[in-house]
């Protein structure tokens, strides 16, 4: 209860003044837009940063020219800090890293591989590095190697997932980390789930699916509608047999993948690159990977990024009162 009490007091007085993620990233609220390959572009990123969170460009398998342009466009739309999510399997990863360094982006999030060889370059350029990892062990390794913070992502998340749940990852990682703050991702989408993450020990939260269903997100309206309509029964993990499980809302494509798996297909029959680079902002809704997390089951309204962030912050601010009632009663 103490953690929630502290959040609520800070929220009502001086919002998150002492929060470690806010201090590290120089942002108002410890709420981060998870980088999403090709989806989190200048409009969405700047909307989150302008609302007091941290927007993150998702470079995925996009070419370096795309990243350079999105960084420049984002700068035109916000004066606030923002980051880039670097997908380490991108064959042009070194060129992308060069752009991040040349453009002096505030912070880089890494995913899909081992970021350690890139640490010295970012550190020499004064760019903060926050790896996204699926286990407490890797989070600790990142801390020992000089990361500025870590994101632990639970298997509730949308897109490529690990095997651990957010509920176990947060406290177990928190226990191992000695010096750097912890960001939690996977299954966080509203005030209640955010409060739970903070209570479990997170210093900040990262959301993907909730921001997919925002006004500023450029995915097609039919994709957003699928998110609003989905229940947890519609959200599946597919492609386990490839070694790269993917959480999606089921559609024709996911059913086809399931049939392939049942027929004993080899992993090589599915090209991982095709999933990351799929143009999910357009195209037939039945034929694209409808990546989304279990959060989709709880999302029922499209709001602007500012409304989403305000909704969560207001919930955290109000929780003090209910917590006091709870502790008085029991």
List residues near ligand FMN by CB under 6 A.
34-37, 39, 58, 60, 85, 87, 111, 132, 153, 156-159, 185-188, 206-210, 212, 291-293, 295
Minimum distance of ligand FMN from residue 244's CB (angstroms)? 12
Q: Interior CA angle at 91 toward 246 and 85, to 5°?
A: 60
Minimum distance of ligand FMN from residue 267's CB (angstroms)? 20
Q: Interior CA angle at 228 toward 77 and 296, to 5°?
A: 85
For ligand FMN, the closer of residues 8 and 270 by Cβ is: 270
Minimum distance of ligand FMN from residue 250's CB (angstroms)? 15
Contact 216, 43 (CB under 8 A): yes
Minimum distance of ligand FMN from residue 123's CB (angstroms)? 20
Computed from CA positions of residues 88, 257, 223, 246, in that sequence, does the dihedral angle turn out positive or negative? negative
Cα(321)–Cα(330) distance, rounded to whole angstroms? Answer: 15
For ligand FMN, the closer of residues 16 and 87 by Cβ is: 87
Contact 156, 165 (CB under 8 A): yes
For ligand FMN, the closer of residues 110 and 323 by Cβ is: 110
**How many CB atoms sit inside 10 A of residue 254's CB?**
21
For ligand FMN, the closer of residues 74 and 206 by Cβ is: 206
Cα(184)–Cα(162) distance, rounded to whole angstroms? Answer: 14
Minimum distance of ligand FMN from residue 320's CB (angstroms)? 25
Minimum distance of ligand FMN from residue 97's CB (angstroms)? 15
Which residue in this structure is represented by tokens 């550190």? 123
Cα(74)–Cα(43) distance, rounded to whole angstroms? Answer: 7
For ligand FMN, the closer of residues 212 and 317 by Cβ is: 212
Minimum distance of ligand FMN from residue 37's CB (angstroms)? 3
- Both tokens of 200, joined, read 């479990």
Helix residue ranges, H only, the chain: 2-12, 20-25, 42-50, 64-77, 93-102, 119-124, 136-144, 166-176, 191-200, 209-212, 221-229, 252-262, 272-277, 305-329
Minimum distance of ligand FMN from residue 161's CB (angstroms)? 9
Cα(101)–Cα(86) distance, rounded to whole angstroms? Answer: 12
Report which residue's Cβ sits closest to ligand FMN. Answer: 208
For ligand FMN, the closer of residues 6 and 281 by Cβ is: 281
Cα(160)–Cα(70) distance, rounded to whole angstroms? Answer: 23
Q: Nearest Cα to 115, choosing from 92, 135, 141, 136? A: 141
For ligand FMN, the closer of residues 88 and 101 by Cβ is: 88
For ligand FMN, the closer of residues 4 and 194 by Cβ is: 194
Minimum distance of ligand FMN from residue 247's CB (angstroms)? 8
**Pairing label, strands 182-185, 150-153:** parallel
For ligand FMN, the closer of residues 22 and 36 by Cβ is: 36
């Amino acid at each position: 209860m103490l953690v929630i009490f502290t959040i609520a007091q800070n929220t009502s007085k001086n919002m998150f003044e002492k929060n470690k993620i806010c201090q590290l990233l120089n942002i108002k609220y410890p709420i981060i837009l998870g980088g999403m390959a090709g989806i989190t572009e200048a409009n969405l990123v700047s909307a989150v940063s302008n609302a007091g969170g941290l927007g993150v460009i998702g470079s995925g398998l996009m070419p370096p020219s795309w990243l350079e342009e999105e960084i420049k466009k984002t700068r035109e739309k916000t004066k606030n800090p923002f980051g880039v999510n670097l997908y380490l399997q991108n064959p042009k990863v070194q060129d992308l890293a060069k752009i991040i360094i040349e453009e002096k982006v505030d912070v880089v999030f890494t995913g899909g591989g081992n970021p350690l060889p890139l640490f010295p370059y970012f550190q020499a350029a004064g760019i903060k590095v926050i790896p996204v990892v699926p286990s407490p062990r890797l989070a600790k390794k990142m801390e020992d190697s000089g990361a500025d913070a870590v994101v632990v992502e639970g298997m509730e998340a949308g897109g490529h997932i690990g095997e651990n749940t957010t509920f176990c990852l947060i406290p177990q990682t928190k226990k191992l980390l000695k010096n750097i703050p912890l960001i939690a991702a996977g299954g966080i989408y509203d005030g209640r789930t955010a409060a739970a993450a903070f209570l479990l020990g997170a210093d900040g939260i990262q959301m993907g699916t909730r921001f997919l269903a925002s006004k500023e997100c450029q995915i097609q309206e039919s994709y957003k509608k699928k998110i609003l309509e989905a229940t947890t029964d519609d959200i599946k993990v597919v492609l386990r047999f490839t070694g790269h499980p993917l959480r999606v809302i089921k559609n024709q494509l996911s059913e086809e993948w399931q049939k392939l798996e049942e027929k004993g297909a080899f992993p090589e029959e599915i090209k991982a690159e095709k999933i990351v680079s799929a143009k999910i902002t357009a195209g037939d809704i039945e034929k694209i990977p409808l990546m989304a997390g279990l959060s989709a089951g709880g999302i029922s309204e499209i709001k602007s990024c500012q409304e989403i962030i305000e909704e969560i912050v207001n919930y955290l601010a109000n929780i003090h009162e209910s917590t006091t009632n709870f502790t008085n009663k029991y």
